[in-house]
Structure formats: C-alpha cells, structure tokens
Structure 1
C-alpha cells in the first residue's frame, strides 16, 4: 500500500500544480486507483504503468499540512519542467482519460500494434536518429504484471522521446549546449494530439515517421545520407542488367538489390521477394537521383544504383539535425539567408523570386542563426552605432584624436536629451561614454547604404545596403559585425514592396531620389525571415553541394550527435552586456582584431560593418 499511496500523492501534487492539465478535483481518480474500480486486469496494468510514468519529483514538493511560510522568505518560482517531465505529465493525463487502459500490452504481452511501434523505433537510424535512445525491454515467456507495467510505460516513454528527437530534441538547447549564436529551438509537437493519433491507429509506424520534417531538402539529405551508408556497406556490390521487376515480384536480382540498399528480409520473407519495405527504399533512391519514383526496378534504376553517392555522413547528419529546428511553415512569402553560402533567396508561394549575394559576420562577431519577421523597410537610414562598437572601437579612436569620427562623418548626441554635441571639445580621458550616442547620418558613405530591412530581434542585426560593393566579389564574405549586407538591395526592396503594397520600381526609385531621409515604410503584412546555416544541399540528380563550415556549427552538431560533448568548445555569450564604463584599453582586449583585410579600408569596413 505504501507504493500505491506514494503514487496517489504524486497525482494530487500534479493536479494541484497543473490545473490546466489535470482535473480540478482529483478525488475520483484517486478513489479509482485505491479501490481498483477502473476495471479488469488490463486497467490494473495501465494504472501501474501510469504510476511508473508520473513525474516522481512532484511528490517531493508536498509540504506537511501544518507547515507555515518562513517570515521574510522570498517566493521561489518552481523550475520549468523538462521536456521529459512534460512527456510524463502528458502520458499520465492520457492514461487517466482512457481509464488506465493500456496502449501497448495485454496480459499476454506486447500487442501487434506495439510490435509495429517497436520495429519503427529500431529503424530510427534510417532517419539519422540513434536507436539506442529508444530502447525498450522485450517481454519473454509469461510476463508478470510488473514486467507488463514496465513494458507499457517503457514503450510509451520511448515513443515520446522519439517524437521529441524527430523535432530536434536530441539537442534541445543548441544556444546553451553548442553556441549562443545558434538561436533555435526544437519544433515540439502537441503531445496530446500525438497520443490521440497513436491511440486511434492500428499501425503507429506512419504516425511516427510523419513527425520528421517535411521540407524537401530534409528528405533529400536523408536519402543522400542513407545512400552513402548503404553504398559503403554494400562494398561495391553491382546491380546486373535485367528486365523490369515490379514490387511484389520475385527474382534472384532482388537479393542483390537488398544487399545494395541494406534492406534485409525479415519475418521469414524470402530474400528474393520484392516486398513493400524494399520498394520504399527503391523509391527513396529514385527520388534522390531525380528519376520516376515508382519503386520499380527499371534499367535506369539499375544504372543509378551503380553510381553511388559518396557524401560525408557526419556533415549530412548535422545538416539534417539543423533542418529539424526550422518551422514547418516557412511562410507563404519568406526570406531565407544561408550564412555558409553567403547568399539570400526570397520565395513566394514556393517559387524563388529573388536571389543575391550577401556578406555576413566575422568569426568573432557572427551572424546569429534564428527566425523572425520583417516589419519595416527604411530608405536613406541613419545608423546608430551599437554600444559594442562605440566602446571597443570609437572610444579608443576618440582618445587618439577621433579619426573614425571624421572619416565616416559620424556625429554625437547626448543620450539624455538628444542634443548634438561637438565631440572635439570633450576630454575623452575623463568623459563617461554612457552619456553619449554616436550616429552616422544618411549619405553616400553611410554604412547602411540606401535601404535597410528590419526584423526586430534580440541580436540587434538586420539586412542592409553598403557603399562598399567591391566586397561582393570576394569568395569568402564574412566581414561584418553580424549584420547582413545585400548586393542588390533595391531589387530586394522592389520584390518585397511589390508583394506588400503593389509598388513598382519607379516608386522605389522616387523614394530614393526625392523621399525624406530616414524614411520608414512599415509592411502591411510581416514576412518570415529565416537565417539558416546549411553546409550541404542536394541538387538535381543527387549531387551534393557543400559550403565551408565558417562558424563551426556543423562540427559541433556532428560531435553532439555522436555524444562527443567533451570535444565541443562552447564560446562566450555574444549577448552579454557591454560595460561602457571600462577603460578602452580593457575593452579592446576583450575584442581581438579580425584577420580579414590588413588595409585601412578593410579595417574600417570591419569596424563599421553594422550589427553588433
């Protein structure tokens, strides 16, 4: 009775803490557990499984009824539940709602439905996941009620873990675990909806497979990854020429096909039988190679099988993982800027409508990886110099005579009043830099150029024009303070404002020529902006295009996916506040010089490149 009483306390604690999840009155559920009134052996197994699942930590927060608050003690907010705890809470609610009826077992063992789920978990490696993360103890012989309860709870928890990993949960907090510049989160599923779908189906395998990203590039990367692994495992196995073979048929060549695609015969199936699982693998290869994906072993398919792809499996797996963080809905019209590629694209209803070169942040002042919404286009913008540049670059320059202020036409205003001040008359060895802001007015040398695209974000980065067009001829274009410069920003403005307001290029040119300075044009409808980091892309025919891992994100993800966390160096938080009161000599030590361009012009471009 002690264990049962502990489970009851857990339910009470959870109900009290989560009124939106649990029933307001837990008494009927508690009574049902204690009296066994839920009915039948299966319900008893389900109730026992639920007790194994419920977050044990909830009971630890219970206080004696006579406990009184400590005088003057500050209220401590409870810690946020972990994804695993949220899984357990959702499962507990799910089992209660179905009267503790098991989902996976009967008194005899696993059901056929459970076996299908277990088989799909074992195939997790086909999706770039680790099957070891979803292991469930098998049931053998005549299982005891305790073993059945453990199997029921174990499979439920494994399925929930699989669902999380399919959406990126293997590395749940990349900004904390890998790099603060990689500001993304897993695309969590609705746990209740998933459990409802699993309860309603006889075959959970398609439900689990459906959790993975639907983006075409994810599917192609997965197929390239599988093909690379299979070709390596096949050790040069060649498909002979022959007639077409339809799925469902039987032929000696099918045994060779199985070896080539790494799909063994299971459940007593003859190796020469062309079953549905093998046909799926053939369709995947056909999709990757850009031929008709009908699953038929044609002469063209035989030929493509003898032209294996040789990709880098670590690179492909890392890129698949990075796709798991991308929203399922990119937006009817959206901007996608791929940092390692140094290129930007705009898509409208699935069609590419703009494609240009960009420059991105330096290695030590990286362009962050995140998604947000564009809200504003500004023509002839003035530029407020960010605090980090003001302290680390402008202040030392002022102490040396203010060369940067003169060369870039910068002006200074008092922070408190906005009053324009003459920086030449200030003793910068005694002045407090926090009292001043530095601006660059609109003009030919303004570092933002003619137009700026704003998607307000915590990283203080945006996209903009630049007077330094020569940089777009460089192969490696990582040379700003984090903002992204666009080679043809007026064309980009035309594309965006044509869709948003129906404006044509003549209207854009008129705004540039005769419009006011710092002319703000709010968008009627926000546009999704996705700053991404993909170092591999699969092209038509299965060719893999790769880009340099300029910030090291690919390597960190590859190491994390293999569990080699000790080899990952997590850098400093780039959002840490800048101490504007520290002497410049100290601040300069915190910001090492970039090794991109040794010329004076290159230094200026690096320092005043926008962003942080």
Structure 2
C-alpha cells in the first residue's frame, strides 16, 4: 500500500506542479482546496462512492480518444447553488366545527370521567363558539368527542383533578423553554347560578382545554415549528402523534401531569438545558455588557475598551494583579488601545484559554465578558426547541457532531470515549442539520466529485484546459460508465448539467484523505480525513464544502467499528476497501449554540451560520398566528 500511495501521490503532485507552473502565489493548502475541494455537499447518491468497481483500471491514453469536433454551441457559464433560507410561514389556525357533535348519537359504551346527559345537553352551546386550533388538533378534537361523548376535564359542573393537573403543567411551560401564553385557558369562576349558563361555560372550557393540551403535547414532542420550512439545510422527519389516542389516555388516567411531562424528550441533555435555563433566569445580569462584535487592534479606539478593561480589573488574581494592576489602574478608562495595554490583554487572553495574540475580537470578548444573560437564555431556549426535533432517546453508542463548537464526539456507555476537532462547511457551503445512522467505513476512498463542485469550481478551468483532470489523478466516465479522457470532452458545451461523472483516485493527495465514514443521506454529507491538517489549528473552522472533516479519522473509524486504531492502520495498508458497520450507531450532524457536556455543564458557542436568528423569526411567526387564546 505504501508504494501504491507514494506512486499515486508523486503522479498527482507532478501533474499539479506542471499544471500550476507560472503561478507563484499557489500554496499547498489553497491548491488542494481550489482544485479538489473539501467535502461533498449536494452530489447525487451515485457520486458518493465514485460509482466504479475497478479501482486499478488502466488509464486511457490521450491518443486513444481524439477530441470530438466542437459541434455544440458554447454553453453559458452557470452556477449550482445550495439551499436558501425562507421567511417562515406558520400554518393558520382553523375554527373548530362542532356541528357534527350535536348530531352524533350517544355512545352508551363510553365511560370516561363523566359520560352523561349533561354533556349532550350542553353541546348546543358550542354552535356559536369560536375556538381556533391547529388543523390537525381541530380534526382530532371532533373525531375524539364524536366517538367518546363525555367530559375529560369536568365533574359535576366544575374543573376536576385532571383539569387542575393539566393547567398546572401548561402553566409551567416556560421551564421547558415554551411560551405559557400559547396554552392559556380561561377557567370559569364558580359564580354562575344559572345551570344552563354554567353548562355552557363548562363545555367550552372542556373543548378549549383539550385543544390546548393537544397543542402542548405536539409542541413538547415535535417542537413548535417545522424546521424543514426554514431551509433545505434542515432535514428532520416528523414524529407520529396519535392525537385521539392522547385524549383517550388522558380521559382514563389520574396521572395527567406525569403523562404530559413524558411527552418531552427524556434524555439527560434536555434536562441539563432546563436546569441551565432556570439558573440563568435566577441569576443577576452582568452589569458590564461589552459589544459582542467588538474588534480592536493595538492603536485603535473604541468606547467598549474601558468596559473590557474594567472586567479584567475586576477579575484580577494575585499573579495578574501584581504584574498589571498598576497599568490597569492608570489606563482603565482609556478608549485607545495603547501599547502599554497589549501585554494586559494578552495575559487576560491566556488566562481565559484563548490565543494570546493581543487582538480583541468576538472570541476574546466572549471569553472575558461572556454573552449577555438575555443572549444565553435565548440560546438555551433555542437548544430546547431544536432538541425536540430529535429522538427522545439519542441512542448509545452514538456520534454527535456539533457544528458551532467545531467538534465531534463518540459516546458509549454514557461516556465521551472520543472527542476531536472538526472542519465544517463554509458559510456559502453550509453543513446541513439532520441525523442519520452510520453504515460504512471506506479505506483509501475515491472522491466522487459532486456536480456543484464540478460546475462551480472545475468547469471554468476545464474550458481553458480540458485535460487537467487526466493529469491530476481524476477519472471521467459517461452516463454508461465508460471511461473517457478529460481531454476528449468538449467542456465548453455544458453549463449547469454535465453528463459525466468525475472521481479522484485514492492517494495521499485525495481530498478525502485516507478514510471516509458514510451515513448515506440526500445531502451527500459524511465524515472524512483531509490532507489539509493545518485547518484544525484555526479557531473558526467553517472551511469545507459541507462535509465534516475529522482531526482523528482513524480514532473515529475504530470507535464506530468497535475495533482498534491498529486494525484500521492494517486495513489502510492494504489499499482501497470498504467495511460495513455492524452496530446501530446514530450520528447527529447537529447545530446547537448552547449544549451541555456529559457532566451537565452547558457551554455556549458562536452562531457561525446565523441560524439562531432564523429560528427566532420562525418562532415569532408561530406566536403571531396563535395570538390571543380564545
């Protein structure tokens, strides 16, 4: 394998050197990124693995395939774009149509909390009742009471214990990051002496509470919004919800609170976020708030600088105080970042575990000042909402990738057995937000170039130099799988649709490095190695085409296969091959700007793609539709 890899690498590098002769500004790092790209973002499934069976097929010579005549008119330069973000539109509420209930026959076999003539006699009071609900909940309400004509929440013309438990849970919605006003129901005061008026009040209370309980269950289980409407970058399956079955259960149980609370995710991460939310609400706001977007170099001026210096002075320990206390005392009100303050900032950065470069930026501000209380509360609330889109049981073992923290973890037996740095998609080539299941590890993989990279990045070069793919270690095949030289293709005849498949052969220069870990999905995203190791030393690692690059791919491959790193090294030494993962291992390609570690400590991260703001807009759209409760 070593000789194979060396030969491939030498050929690739020699070809690249010849190709880029006369380009003095090209570096090894940007060379690979420019020509080979990073991960695959939107390639069709046939490109994920290259789509070939013979990895050692003899390359065709250029002379065997003369270039075809240029019979097609040159196509216009085109671009393949990724998903966009949408203005979220919430479904409108519908008026519950109670007309079918009054005509329904009494079901003598039904024995809920109270199946009596009182229920039927009061149905007429719903004729002019304007109760608004989500379409699915409105339908379930009529379907349930049409078959089960009796009260769940009312006994002897008064709210019963079930109702009291339900109202208590709905009232505590804020502890889950939900909005209590979404579930408000007016409880009739026990002042009416007119039996007919009382019956009217209680039947309307019954229907309103059932509608709001169904809303609560739906929100707790699946979230308030449909994330897939935000953007094509989001990909979450809807969770099935038997709404009629839920009402039937509530009509028969005395443990209403327990049932409603069980509809929330039942994992440790969700509980840790709830604890953090309550702690934040109870805490005092930091009296010194520094602009989170502050950027300041030595010699520059900002009114935010005295705030930052005040925080450093407030938190001085003996070591820093002895060395920098006097400087801070004399310059704490300075708005100019004078040279005397540079060692102070560097020392504060080092103490906070940040890069001590003396340049003040958002990371330094976050480390020294922290985000505001309001910002942290919002991030925890967003995280609770996003976690509701996921399975209640996250699984064990599992792989968890959190994009804002640029990290990937392998968790087994409730312990984080492995954690590493990652590189994720650029802002223009974002990594999607979804979950899947790991299926396969590829050793010395081929890289099937997706159409987006082929069209956007390679095609302009191919129009000028049709044969460069041949020299750079790529294979080109037509729609029938027939191998053809790149130089034989009239690349100028194609725009956004190119009827050829392109893949890069295994080598040390391959864009996927030596390993690829697949969980096939429509976004063509996977984890892989990379020859661009220097990227892992950067703080902001949103640098790929969308896939997730791993700092320790051998460690992750060994973890998901349940084997050793030495085993993986042995497989790599034998050349190109694939191995199926025999266990069920969910993988979360997640996006949380607030996330707890396994000890329960919540960490906060920058919103690299601006998705928190998109979520805020979606939640506001839902709140606007729900409006005042009927």
Q: TM-score, normalised by structure 1?
A: 0.64
Deviations 1:501-536 (A, max 9, x none): xx4444322211124x2x121222332111111112
Q: Which of 585, 593, 599 is the aligned partner of 1:535?
A: 593
- How far residue 196 of structure 1 moved from its aligned partner, in angstroms, is 3.9
SS of 2:580's partner is strand
Which of these residues, 200, 209, 224, is aligned with residue 261 of structure 2?
Answer: 209
Change (3 A) 1:192 1:443: same
Contact 1:187–1:324 (Cα < 8 Å) also in 2: no
In the TM superposition, 1:336-351 aligns within 5 A as 336-351=400-415
Tell me, what secondary structure is at the counterpart of 2:587? Answer: strand
Shift in Å at residue 323 of structure 1?
A: 1.4
User: Quick check: 1:337–1:530 contact (8 Å CA) kept in 2?
Assistant: yes
Distance 1:329-1:385 versus aligned 2 partners, 3 A rule: same
1:510 match: 570
Structure 2: how far apart are the matches of 1:458 and 1:508?
28
1:323 aligned to 2:397?
no
> 1:92 deviation in Å?
3.6
Q: Given that residues 593 and 604 in structure 2 are in contact (C-alpha distance below 8 angstroms), is that contact kept between their aligned partners in structure 1?
A: yes
- Tell me the secondary structure at the aligned position of residue 155 of structure 1: helix
Matched with 2:451 is 387
Correspondence for 2:227? 174
Contact 1:536 1:545 in 2 (8 A): yes
Whether the aligned pair in 2 keeps the contact of 1:42 and 1:102 (CA below 8 Å) is no
Structure 2 matches for 1:480-499, cutoff 5 A?
480-498=544-562
C-alpha deviations, 1:421-449, integer Å up to 9, x for none? 22224333235763311110111111111
Worse-superposed segment, 326-335 or 474-483: 326-335
Is the 2:466–2:488 contact (alpha carbons within 8 Å) kept by the matching residues of 1?
no
SS in 2 for 1:337: strand
The worse-fitting range, judged by mean Cα deviation, of 440-449 and 429-438 is 429-438
Find the aligned partners of 2:405 and 2:421 in 1 and give their Cα distance.
Answer: 9
Matched, 1:550 2:583: no
Match of 1:23 in 2: none
Work out the CA distance in 1 between the residues paired with 2:486 and 2:122: 75
Aligned residues: 434
Structure 1 distance, partners of 2:535, 2:285, is 45
Task: Check whether the contact 2:561–2:582 (CA below 8 A) recurs between aligned residues.
Answer: no
Which of 195, 207, 227 is matched with 2:279 structurally? Answer: 227
CA-atom RMSD in angstroms: 3.5
Name the stretch that deviates more: 464-473 or 206-215. 206-215
Q: CA deviation at 1:333?
A: 1.4
**1:454 and 1:50, CA in 2 relative to 1: closer, same or farther beyond 3 A?**
farther
Identify the match of residue 84 of structure 1 among 134, 153, 175.
Answer: 134
3-state SS in 2 of match to 1:514: coil
What does residue range 451-470 of structure 1 map to in structure 2 within 5 Å? 451-470=515-534
Distance in 1, matches of 2:255 and 2:417, equals 41
Is the 8 Å Cα contact of residues 228 and 235 (structure 2) preserved in structure 1? Answer: yes
Residue 134 of structure 1 is matched in structure 2 by 183
Q: Could you tell me which residue of structure 2 aligns to residue 472 of structure 1?
A: 536
Equivalent residue for 2:155, pick from 106, 109, 117: 106
1:367-389 CA distance string (max 9 Å, x none): 10101111111111111110111
CA contact (8 A) 1:134 1:159 kept: yes
- TM-score w.r.t. structure 2 length? 0.62
- Structure 1 pair 128–431 and aligned structure 2 pair: CA distance change class (3 A): closer
Task: Give the corresponding residue for 1:199.
Answer: 251
**In 2: Cα distance, 1:553 partner to 1:169 partner:** 16
Name the counterpart of 2:174.
125
**Deviation string for 1:305-362 (max 9, x for gaps)?**
xxxx956221221112111112112222111100111110111232222211111111
2-side partners of 1:102 and 1:400: how far apart? 77
Whether the 8 Å CA contact 1:50–1:95 is kept in 2: the answer is no
Counterparts of 1:352-367 in structure 2, within 5 Å, are: 352-367=416-431
Name the stretch that deviates more: 537-546 or 392-401. 537-546
Residue 42 of structure 1: aligned partner: 118
C-alpha distance 39-153 of structure 1, shift in aligned 2 (>3 A): closer
The structure showing larger relative contact order (alpha-carbon pairs under 8 Å, at least 6 residues apart) is 2
Unpaired runs of 5+ residues, structure 1, are 12-28, 57-82, 236-308, 567-612
